[in-house]
Amino acid sequence: DQQVKQNSPSLSVQEGRISILNCDYTNSMFDYFLWYKKYPAEGPTFLISISSIKDKNEDGRFTVFLNKSAKHLSLHIVPSQPGDSAVYFCAASTGPHQGGKLIFGQGTELSVKP
Amino acid sequence: EPEVTQTPSHQVTQMGQEVILRCVPISNHLYFYWYRQILGQKVEFLVSFYNNEISEKSEIFDDQFSVERPDGSNFTLKIRSTKLEDSAMYFCASRPRAGGLYEQYFGPGTRLTVT
């Protein structure tokens, strides 16, 4: 049951450049999308979210874009910093339906090289 | 800044034993969750809890699992008779309100090792 997919297991970028992490979903009932960052031996940390009624949300260096027709979202990090190196998870929710559970993608490991 | 806390950080148990994983969600949050992540796999939803009852559970959450909010602060996950395949990181999460935003805030996790 792969309702949320992150097809790139890893991504490497140079410090200062843009990191683009991608996520695809199949369930058209999803109405809220989130990105989490995770370091080894820690819990996921919430980064940024977007409602399905929007196509862009920005928070500092992080921007999430949503393309509902393509069922695709992406996270842009500009400029990338070495401290951004972590595993990034895309997650989706059907909102208040079914208690708001999150369905996660497999994660993309981002490595930002100095 | 308020945080979700979990204890213990690591639990080793023998197959067939009962374990209780404990969580203290953020104090004004209304929804509570358990997730798990088997090594190398994605984070999987187990159960959601609201208003002192389960609002949804996954196929993984069978009769061996139960959750409880015994007082105003703790939220526990019990596995009655552990199996080898229950070895995983277990994350507790909480959400601030019943409507609107759906961000969940995760604890640091409990690593459960079943031998």
Is-contact B21 B6, C-beta < 8 A?
Answer: yes
Q: Do B109 and A102 touch (CB under 8 A)?
A: no
Res A24: pLDDT = 97
Residues 6+ positions from B62 with CB-CB distance below 8 Å: none
Mean pLDDT on B88-104: 84
User: Nearest-CA neighbor of B45 among A99, A6, A111, A85?
Assistant: A99
As a whole number of angstroms, the longest Cα–Cα distance in chain B is 42
Answer yes or no: is pLDDT of B33 > 90.
yes
Nearest to B104 among A96, A102, A107 (CB): A102
- The structure tokens listed for B82 are 């552990």
At B45-92, the pLDDT tens digits run 999 998 899 999 999 999 999 999 988 789 999 999 999 999 999 999
Computed on alpha carbons and rounded to an integer, the radius of gyration of chain B in Å comes to: 13
Give the separation between CA B110 and CA B5, rounded to whole angstroms. 10
Q: How far apart are CA B36 and CA B19, in angstroms?
A: 15
Choice between A84 and A95, residue whose per-residue pLDDT is larger: A84
Which residues in chain A are closer than 8 Å to B108, comparing Cβ atoms?
Answer: 41-43
Q: Average pLDDT of A75-87?
A: 97
pLDDT of B1: 76
CB A57 within 8 A of CB A76: no
How many of the other CB atoms lie within 10 Å of CB of B67?
Answer: 22
Picking from A32, A45, A107, the nearest residue to B102 by CB comes out as: A32
Average pLDDT on A71-99 reads 91
| Mode of pairing for the β-strands spanning B110-114 and B10-13 | parallel
Q: Quote the DSSP letter at residue B85.
A: G
pLDDT at B99: 60
Q: Supply φ then ψ for residue B61, to 5 degrees.
A: -80, 80
Residue A75 has pLDDT above 80, yes or no: yes
B97 band by pLDDT with thresholds 50, 70 and 90: confident
- Which residues make Cβ contacts (< 8 Å) with residue A16, sequence separation at least 6? A79, A80
CA distance A100 to A107: 20
Round to whole Å and give the CA distance between B64 and B66.
7
- CA–CA dist B107, B3 (Å, integer): 7
Nearest residue on chain A to B55, judged by CA atoms? A99
| Higher pLDDT, residue A58 or B73 | A58
> What confidence tier does B30 reach under pLDDT thresholds 50, 70, 90?
confident
**Residue B72's pLDDT is what?**
78
The reported pLDDT for the residue numbered B87 is: 97
The C-alpha of A16 sits at a distance from chain B's nearest C-alpha, in angstroms, of 28
What is the reported pLDDT for A18? 98
Confidence band of A2 (pLDDT split at 50, 70, 90) = confident
For residue A25, the cross-strand partners are A4
Residue from A88, A76, A60 nearest A18 by CA: A76
Q: What is the pLDDT of residue A99?
A: 74
